[in-house]
Structure 1
Amino acid sequence: MSPADSAAPLNLSRSNLSHLDVLREAADLGLRVLAAGRWPESAADVAPPVLPGFTGSSFSPLAAEAAGRCLDAYGPGPGAQLPVTAVVVASALGDVAGAVRVAEAVDGGGRLGPLLFFQAVPNAVAGHLAARRGLTGPVVCVGGARSGFEVAEVLLADGDAELALLVLVEQAAGPGGADRAAAVLLAPQEHCPTHRQLEGARP
């Protein structure tokens, strides 16, 4: 990839985390998108489902819900065994709501519960996904969509994983903002999947 390509911004700022942008970025790196999922998908997605073990922030529930929808679109349910699959979580700002909650507690002299310590880093939800869905590849967290795609490309090219689940998460960072997440299951171009392709996944 040329320096100019690397510097080009990846437009994932809209509330639906544009599939066209994701497809274009994957193609630029020689990757195939096997399935995709996002939150929100419809007006019914008012708040992400509660994620046991995580509290006080939508970051981890957003990541888990988008990833779950992506994996469900690819194949049969949580009990299905995937090839060696890496989990890459990418977020430009990280867990904004969690950081605010911790800062407020510290400023006010309050005590922080152990769950907040556990989920203070984004790889907590990445590990959760890997354990619950039987994903046995590397777990990596990076600061942005572009970096996420590039890390996924490296993991696949080096043979560290056969597939890569890339989860992009951004929380509302100000008035009028919206929480959003998208997940894509990536493979090298030569990979021949046996399950449903992106064209058959949710629109």
Structure 2
Amino acid sequence: MTGTRSTAEATLGARVVDARWPESDVDTLPSIPGFILSDFTPLVAAVAERCLRVHHGEPPADPARAARTGLVLASARGDTTTLRIVTEAVAAGRRVPPLLFFQSNPNAVLGHVAARWGLGGPVVCVSPTGDPMADALACAELLIDAGDADEAVVVVAELGEDGDQTGGAEALLVTAEGRA
């Protein structure tokens, strides 16, 4: 990831904060009301929360800054657990828990993070075909260049092969400060 950080700094001028999940073998994901059966949402929310806490302190963030803070999520596979559960239920003719329709949209977790922190900037989710962090940083750069945000929390998250948190996540908070 060292090359990724250099790209963020060169492209956006400043990488203010970075965070990872997990940081240790004892990290456990918090449950989030309204999100069920999958570790994807808690994984994204936990790494974004770590990043935002370092930069903004306790939620909500300062309204003047938060109004121009965007969120970008990149995940090549997305929430594979929710996809599997819905697919199996439909194939078997079983009722699908209604919350799974809500949580199957990756914007839902970013909406949760934005509401908790009072963020008013754009929310973007991408499914990259190349380097997920590079794609997410390119989206953040577009948001900042277009004047839609002054900073962005960029999250890359993947569930493990078994659909659990073992895949991990990384978040960077980037700004245009210091840019020529």
Fold in common (TM above 0.5): yes
Q: SS of 1:80's equivalent? A: coil
SS of the equivalent of 1:29 reads helix
Please state if 1:170 is matched with 2:158.
yes
Distance 1:117 1:25, change over 3 A: same
State the Cα distance separating 1:28 from its structure 2 match.
4.1
Contact 2:12–2:174 at 8 Å: present in 1 too? no
Residue of structure 2 equivalent to 1:117? 101
Q: What's 2:147 paired with? A: 159
For residue 115 of structure 1, give the secondary structure of its aligned residue in structure 2. Answer: helix
Q: How does 1:124-139 map to 2 (within 5 A)?
A: 124-139=108-123
Which residue in the other structure is 1:186 paired with? 174
Q: Quick one: distance in 1 between partners of 2:3 and 2:38?
A: 27
Q: Secondary structure at the match of 1:111?
A: coil
Equivalent residues in 2 for 1:66-145, closer than 5 Å:
66-81=47-62, 83=65, 84-144=68-128, 145=132
In the superposition, the TM-score normalised over structure 2's length comes to: 0.88
Instruction: Give the unaligned 5+ runs of structure 2.
Output: none
Structure 1, unaligned runs of 5 or more: 1-17, 192-203
Cα offsets for 1:68-108 (capped at 9, x unmatched): 00011113211331511001111011111111111111122
Amino acid at match of 2:38: S
Contact 2:60 2:116 in 1 (8 A): no
**In 1, are the aligned partners of 2:157 and 2:169 still within 8 Å (CA)?**
yes
What is the letter of the counterpart of residue 43 of structure 1?
Answer: D
1:126 maps to a residue whose letter is L
Normalising by structure 1, report the TM-score. 0.78
CA RMSD of aligned residues (A): 1.8
User: For 1:39 and 1:88, how far apart are their aligned partners in 2?
Assistant: 17
Shift of 1:174: 5.3
Query: How many angstroms does 1:32 deviate by?
Result: 1.4
> If each structure's helix is expressed as a fraction of its own residues, which one has the higher value?
2
In 1, the alpha carbon distance for the partners of 2:40 and 2:17 equals 21
Instruction: Give, in angstroms, the shift of residue 67 of structure 1.
Output: 0.3
1:50 alignment partner, SS class: coil
Give the C-alpha shift of residue 162 in structure 1.
Answer: 0.7
Aligned pairs, number? 171
Q: Which amino acid aligns with 1:55?
A: I
- Render the CA deviation track for 1:116-159: whole Å, top value 9, x for unaligned: 00011100001111111011101110013222111100101111
How far apart are 1:22 and its partner, in Å? 3.2
Q: Which residue is 1:30 aligned to? A: 12
- Counterpart AA for 2:71: V
Q: Is the 8 A contact 1:31 1:153 kept in 2?
A: no
